[in-house]
């Protein structure tokens, strides 16, 4: 692989897992436990969707306030930058919550990322649209990207776009389901990316 850029999922990857309480959000907006929030909102009538979206945005802001950088996330980002890799973020969250969370990072800022793709401007993962958009913004081919994330949607989106994939399996491989594509690499700590590259 001729990797020139690394595209990170945000929540649970660059930030510590658990800042967002998805089950609690689902309960508050009436989303069934086995459905995903954005997809559930998509099928709601326009008025109700707007109302529920306000709740989601408020919860995301609270989570961003409580978020912390993941273990070795800053070290990894800075080392990759030093080695001249282009960096990006791809998240199902809003840009506002990403900005707020990044304020908690000491040595890393929004300016360290060549592309930040959020649900505000892209179809959400597992759709490959965000990976393709990030590649375009970074001036790379999708095959020159490594998509790093802690959930199956990250691996599916990366694979469908033609990027390399890395599963950050801090809690094992339980996030993957039968029939999902295999990640190219399995890591337990972000610093392991430096060994891959």
Task: Please write the tens of the pLDDT for every residue from 74-97.
Answer: 999 999 999 999 999 999 999 999
- Rounded mean pLDDT, 157-184: 88
Is the pLDDT score of 133 beyond 90? yes
What end-to-end distance do the CA atoms of the chain give, in Å? Answer: 9
Domain regions of the chain by residue span: 5-17+68-196, 22-66
Best CA proximity match to 8, nearest among 150, 106, 171 = 150
**What pLDDT sits at residue 173?**
58
CB 158 within 8 A of CB 16: no
CATH of 5-17+68-196 among 3.40.640.10, 3.40.30.10, 3.40.50.1000, 1.10.3720.10: 3.40.50.1000
> Which strands sit side by side in the sheet containing 145-149, from one edge to the other?
115-117, 86-90, 5-8, 145-149, 164-168, 185-187
What's the whole-number average pLDDT of the chain? 92
Rounded to the nearest 10 degrees, what angle do helices 152-161 and 129-138 cross at?
60
Is the pLDDT score of 18 beyond 90? no
């Amino acid at each position: 692989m001729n990797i020139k850029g690394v595209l990170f999922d945000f929540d649970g990857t660059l930030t510590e897992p658990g800042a967002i309480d998805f089950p609690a959000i689902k309960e508050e907006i009436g989303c069934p436990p086995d459905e995903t929030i954005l997809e559930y909102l998509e099928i709601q009538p326009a008025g109700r969707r707007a109302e529920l979206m306000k709740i989601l945005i408020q919860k995301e802001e609270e989570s961003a306030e409580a978020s912390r950088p993941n273990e070795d996330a800053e070290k990894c980002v800075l080392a990759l930058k030093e080695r001249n890799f282009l960096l990006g973020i791809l998240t199902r969250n809003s840009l506002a919550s990403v900005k707020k969370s990044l304020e908690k990072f000491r040595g890393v800022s929004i300016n360290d990322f060549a592309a930040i793709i959020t649900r505000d401007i892209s179809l959400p993962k597992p759709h490959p649209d965000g990976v393709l958009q990030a590649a375009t913004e970074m001036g790379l081919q999708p095959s020159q990207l490594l998509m790093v994330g802690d959930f199956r949607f990250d691996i599916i989106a990366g694979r469908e776009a033609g990027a390399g994939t890395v599963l950050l399996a801090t809690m094992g491989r339980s996030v993957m389901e039968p029939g999902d594509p295999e990640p190219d690499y399995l890591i337990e700590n972000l610093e392991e990316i430096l060994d891959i590259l």
